[in-house]
A and B are shown apart, each in its own frame.
Chain A
Amino acid sequence: MATATFRIWRGDANGGEFHDYTAEVAEGMVVLDAVHDIQRTQAPDLACRWNCKAGKCGSCSAEVNGMPKLMCMTRLSELPLEKPVTIEPMKAFSTLKDLVTDVSWNFSVKKTIKPFKPRPPDAADGTWRMQQEDIDRVQEFRKCIECFLCQDVCHVLRDHQMHERFIGPRFLIHVAALEMHPLDTEDRIEELRNKQGIGYCNITKCCTKVCPENIEITDNGIIPLKERVVDDFYDPFGWIWRWLKKKSNS
């Protein structure tokens, strides 16, 4: 059976280093299989977060050969095994131990976003009516599994550490899902510009590239939100047009 070398980062928030492990490689194996094998046979104290092993729980996020990936969805057959496969924790968050990072910042960010505020029910029984074409767009955003790979790859968070000023692609998609929802009545555009820092996104599309759910984060989520910010803050002719339209309707 063939073998491969896995260069795994071991350490915590205070520092660490790479350790090389050799593991057997079988057909159909994914990176998480190799990590589990190493855990079982060579490094029982190797910390690694995982759960479903089916690409749906978003737990096993790490950086494989420098790119953010779900370890359970990265087949070894896709990697050049003649060189050591590097496995590191996500860089945008502090490391707790080995491959496990502290992603709690994301949950605190989510709490700051204005929640869903539906219009009054359409029917007497307290239910609403929606058309499929109205909901298609936000259904894409709801595929998100919160693996935070997009947050990890975003250079605003990863390199510039602007966690205080920028909510990151995951939560821009969350805002888009709420803001474009046909029933929602809340206005989040001002805080999107002023507090959540959408202007920091410079459209590198790295978030889209790493999304395991293939959500078009930039084209379908962030750019449409940027355009809504333009509507409200940077388009004087648009303001006049909307004012005239409102006037003619009243």
Chain B
Amino acid sequence: MNGTTALPRRSFGETMRADVWWTQPLLVFVGLSIFIVYSTWAAFQGQNYFFGNYISPFYSPEILGDSPHSWFGPKPNWWPHWLIFSPALLVLWAPGGFRVTCYYYRGAYYKAFWADPPACTVGEPRKSYWGERSFPLIMQNVHRYFLYLALFFLLVLAYDVWKALWFADGFGIGIGTIVLAINLVLLAGYTVGCHSLRHLAGGFLDQFSKSPTCYRAYTCVSCFNRRHMLWAWLSLFWVGFADLYVRLCAMGVWHDWRLL
């Protein structure tokens, strides 16, 4: 490949664009920052994460913990005193990793947090560029493994919705049930539209006609994939809200209305 000499490189933020190009990266920066701060705070609380038959999605599956939702009982005695314990910290890395390595979020946070570039045709702050070819960003290729974990988490969250239908006095539907069910639907929409799943479902094939099942799966995933950004933001907002709902109910600030 022959090289080419273009016009001089523009400095950081320099552009001839006449529109408000900074709006979108700013909104992404603010939106993701709020979520990161809130989810980190919530994960370290270690309390008020369940309310009766509801459990916060940040804490599910509760592998070890004090609530009745715990799979393997309370925190073990051998847990080092100096090591902070919260049931959320045992599980939150998996859905967190799925989002961090997600193709949509990658493009979004490279722009919003790293200005690489700040927006299309806007000057960058750095001359050097490694892309996703070398460490650390080459690790983004692990995305499909986080997908496998995310699919498992969907099953767990579906079970949480099932539990949210059963109150102490039997079957019922509360506002919390609906909040957790919407959370499941939005997270499923986001996960099922994953680019890696699209590839694994059938995108790896060159001849769909030889594998009709894979083609149907590919078409289905592609349908969700077309709105992947929308699913990503809706599910991000709602999973945070679901935690907040359960937390405020557990703290007695909000009352969970029974609809049925």
- Give the CA-CA distance A204 to B204 in the complex, in Å: 23
The answer to whether the Cβ of A115 comes within 8 Å of any Cβ in the partner chain is no
A204-250, CB < 8 A from B? 204-206, 209-210, 218-219, 223-224, 226-231, 233-235, 237
Residues of B within 8 A of A169 (CB): none
The answer to whether the Cβ of A93 comes within 8 Å of any Cβ in the partner chain is yes
Q: Is the interface of B mostly helix, strand, loop or mixed?
A: loop
Residues of B within 8 A of A105 (CB): 1-4
Given contacts A163-B4, A203-B110, contact A65 B17 (CB under 8 A): yes
**Who on chain A is nearest to B195 by CB?**
A223
B50-108, CB < 8 A from A? 103-104, 106-107
The answer to whether the Cβ of B174 comes within 8 Å of any Cβ in the partner chain is no
The answer to whether the Cβ of A41 comes within 8 Å of any Cβ in the partner chain is no
For B, the interface residue count at a CB cutoff of 8 angstroms equals 53
Do B1 and A153 touch across chains, with their CB atoms under 8 A apart? no
- Give the CA-CA distance A223 to B137 in the complex, in Å: 15
Do B203 and A197 touch across chains, with their CB atoms under 8 A apart? no
Residues of A within 8 A of B131 (CB): 156, 197, 199-202
Instruction: Give per-residue flags for B2-25: 1 if the beta carbon is below 8 A from chain A beta carbons, else 0.
Output: 111111011000011111000000
A111-165, CB < 8 A from B? 112, 131, 133-134, 153, 155-156, 158-164
Binding site for B on A (CB under 8 A): 13, 63, 65-68, 80, 83, 86, 88-89, 91-95, 102, 104-105, 108-109, 112, 131, 133-134, 153, 155-156, 158-164, 167, 179-182, 184, 197, 199-206, 209-210, 218-219, 223-224, 226-231, 233-235, 237
Q: Show 6 residue pairs from A and B whose CB-CB distance is below 8 angstroms, ordered by the A residue.
A: A13-B5, A158-B121, A161-B3, A202-B116, A231-B199, A234-B141
Binding site for A on B (CB under 8 A): 1-7, 9-10, 15-19, 103-104, 106-107, 110-111, 116-117, 120-121, 123-124, 127, 129, 131-134, 137-138, 141-145, 195-196, 198-199, 203-204, 206-209, 215, 225-226, 228
